């Protein structure tokens, strides 16, 4: 959200109220960062106050294998072999970004570690991820586990009832073209 690539956060044609895909919530977050020259920690404290979850909650239970980003090369080959492909080729590397290897401790500093546990702890535990070894406290609060569980039930129910969106991104953009082909 720090970068405004192609004017996504400032182009009214992309706003949900105009039929686009950039929500008011996303614009508020973008504006907060830019108007306050906010650090990651300030942004995190302002906008993350409940346990994180995503569509993985309704899809991963139906998967027999999940490719993990940190093992993407090996997991890619395993997934292809499980799909019946003999001698799969290596995953091609395109557009590799140099210099984005910051240590998580630069973002998740000691002052926000307890909030990080509250927000991401239940999700990471569910999918068998751990917290950095150098963190002194890694116990996930009971309140976070409870809210994650209840929130998961509500999200599954809500996502199952949700209809396909009629919003469209900009024509001739990758996202817009994908949306138009799927309808």
The H-or-E segment that residue 32 falls in is helix 24-36
The pLDDT tens digits for 72-117 are 999 999 999 999 999 999 988 887 776 666 677 788 899 999 999 9
What does the domain layout of the chain look like in residue ranges? 5-63+106-182
Give the whole-angstrom CA distance, residue 113 versus residue 139: 11
What is the reported pTM? 0.74
Mean pLDDT of 43-68: 88
Give the whole-angstrom CA distance, residue 67 versus residue 55: 15
The more confident residue out of 130 and 112 is: 112
**Model confidence band, residue 138 (pLDDT cutoffs 50, 70, 90):** very high
Report how far Cα 3 is from the mean position of its chain's Cα atoms.
17
Res. 179: pLDDT tops 70:
no
What burial class does residue 118 get, using C-beta atoms within 10 Å of its C-beta: 0-12 exposed, 13-18 middle, 19+ buried?
Answer: buried
What pLDDT was estimated at residue 116? 96
């Amino acid at each position: 959200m720090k970068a405004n690539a192609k004017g996504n956060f400032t182009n009214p044609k992309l706003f949900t109220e105009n039929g686009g895909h950039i929500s008011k919530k996303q614009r508020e977050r973008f504006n907060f960062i830019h108007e306050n020259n906010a650090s990651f920690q300030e942004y995190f404290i302002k906008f993350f106050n409940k346990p994180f979850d995503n569509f993985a909650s309704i899809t991963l239970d139906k998967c027999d294998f999940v490719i993990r980003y940190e093992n993407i090369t090996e997991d890619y080959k395993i997934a292809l072999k499980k799909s019946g492909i003999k001698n799969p080729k290596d995953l091609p590397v395109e557009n590799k970004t140099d210099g984005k290897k910051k240590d998580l401790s630069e973002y998740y500093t000691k002052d926000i570690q307890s909030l990080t546990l509250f927000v991401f702890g239940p999700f990471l535990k569910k999918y068998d991820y751990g917290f950095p070894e150098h963190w002194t406290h890694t116990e996930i609060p009971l309140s976070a586990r409870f809210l994650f569980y209840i929130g998961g039930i509500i999200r599954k129910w809500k996502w199952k009832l949700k209809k396909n969106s009629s919003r469209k991104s900009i024509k001739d953009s990758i996202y817009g073209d994908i949306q138009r082909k799927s309808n």
